[in-house]
Chain A
Amino acid sequence: MRCEEKVKGGKLVCIEIVPKDGKAAKVRITGDFFLHPEDSINALEQSLEGVDLTSGEDEIAARLKKALGQAQLIGASPEDLARIFKRASS
């Protein structure tokens, strides 16, 4: 499962999901956005692993915001990632 989208502002975000039993077993977020500190990408991906693929965008965005903590995502938003996750999983 894969979806990529050019988000508002022009950055490209791609989300790939390996599904298993209706859940996201593995999630990979790639693109030309910025994230400070960069290592936070692991927490963002892990926050979506185990998520039911029928979960709503709001719930997914909330998970991402929690995982993001004080880290700064620049060029994309948690809402963008949640929307792309849903498009990838549908």
Chain B
Amino acid sequence: MRWRIIDYSENDAYMNMAIDEAISESIVKGAPPTIRFYGWKPSAVSIGYFQSLEHEVDIKHCADLGMDIVRRRTGGGAVYHDHQGEITYSVIGKEDLFPKDIIASYRLICGWIIDSLGLLGIKAEFKPINDIAVGEKKISGNAQTRRGGVLLQHGTILHSVDVDTMFSVLKVSDEKIKDKMIATVKERVTSVSQQKVISRDELYGALLSGFTKGKDFGLGTITDEERNRALELVEKRYLTKEWNAMR
């Protein structure tokens, strides 16, 4: 099985989610399994499929900061995607390429991230359900969906973390305040640059190595058909209030 690797590119939040979905659709039609790396420009907030937009996000503050807000097709939590602070990936392929057990498939793909961090001398481990941690501190969050026989997992690897901005755009529930959330998150979240003096480019190089290790792969691009479909999905889904505010 030959994998298609799509080099890092930056898009707005709507296009990023639309490209992941367009690739998923093309894989149903026979396109090769694909690993894509991307960034968010402008910075953005994504929320999980089941989350309430108004409960999770300070919509006005995001607008004031010029940030996009988008609902993902995947479950999980709200994420602040700092333009400079992280690298996001997606892994998309037919379900039969991956373990049937969902946690096992998270473990497999997260293992590629752990291998990548290992190349940088950072010892990380998988924390079920969907996190990767260095010690007790989270460094990567991941989310997966399986639709139409295709598995999509995307996630972020933190290069640097701006907890203050994160909590200015994400709302904090009473339950979370009980956990002394903000102070706790500063203690419970880490980033590659907090572990070692490593540039974002070095992190990306390690991710490319870790994700492709042992795979037959070729560097590819998004096809014109995928890009056109993504542009259509931006208009029909990811930019609409019906989608983003459906919960």
**Across the interface, which residues of B come within 8 angstroms of A5, CB to CB?**
175
A-B pairs under 8 A by CB, number: 65
A30 to B78 Cα, complex, angstroms: 12
**Contact residues, A17-42 vs B (CB, 8 A):** 28-38, 41
- Min CB–CB distance B23 → chain A (angstroms): 18
B51 interfacial by beta-carbon distance below 8 Å: yes
Q: Which residue of A4, A12, A74 contacts B129 across the interface (Cβ within 8 Å)?
A: A74
Q: How does the 8 Å CB contact mask read for B206-232 relative to A, with 1 for contact and 0 for none? A: 000000000000000000000000000
* Interface class of chain A by DSSP: strand
A29 to B50 Cα, complex, angstroms: 8
A6 to B49 Cα, complex, angstroms: 18
Most buried by B among A12, A31, A41: A31
A83 to B61 Cα, complex, angstroms: 34
**Contact residues, B45-94 vs A (CB, 8 A):** 48-52, 55, 73-78
B129 touches A75 (CB 8 A): yes
B144 interfacial by beta-carbon distance below 8 Å: yes
A36 to B146 Cα, complex, angstroms: 7
**Contact residues, B99-126 vs A (CB, 8 A):** 102-103
A34 touches B76 (CB 8 A): yes
B236 interfacial by beta-carbon distance below 8 Å: no
**Across the interface, which residues of B come within 8 angstroms of A69, CB to CB?**
none
**Across the interface, which residues of B come within 8 angstroms of A4, CB to CB?**
173-175
A9 to B131 Cα, complex, angstroms: 12
Given contacts A33-B50, A75-B129, contact A38 B75 (CB under 8 A): yes
A31 to B56 Cα, complex, angstroms: 9
- Min CB–CB distance A13 → chain B (angstroms): 9
Nearest 4 interchain pairs by C-beta: A32-B77, A34-B75, A30-B52, A6-B175
B contacts, CB < 8 Å to A: 48-52, 55, 73-78, 102-103, 129-130, 143-147, 173-176, 179, 247
A30-B51, A31-B48, A32-B51 known; 10 other A-B pairs, CB under 8 Å?
Answer: A4-B174, A14-B55, A30-B50, A30-B52, A30-B55, A32-B50, A32-B75, A32-B78, A34-B129, A35-B75
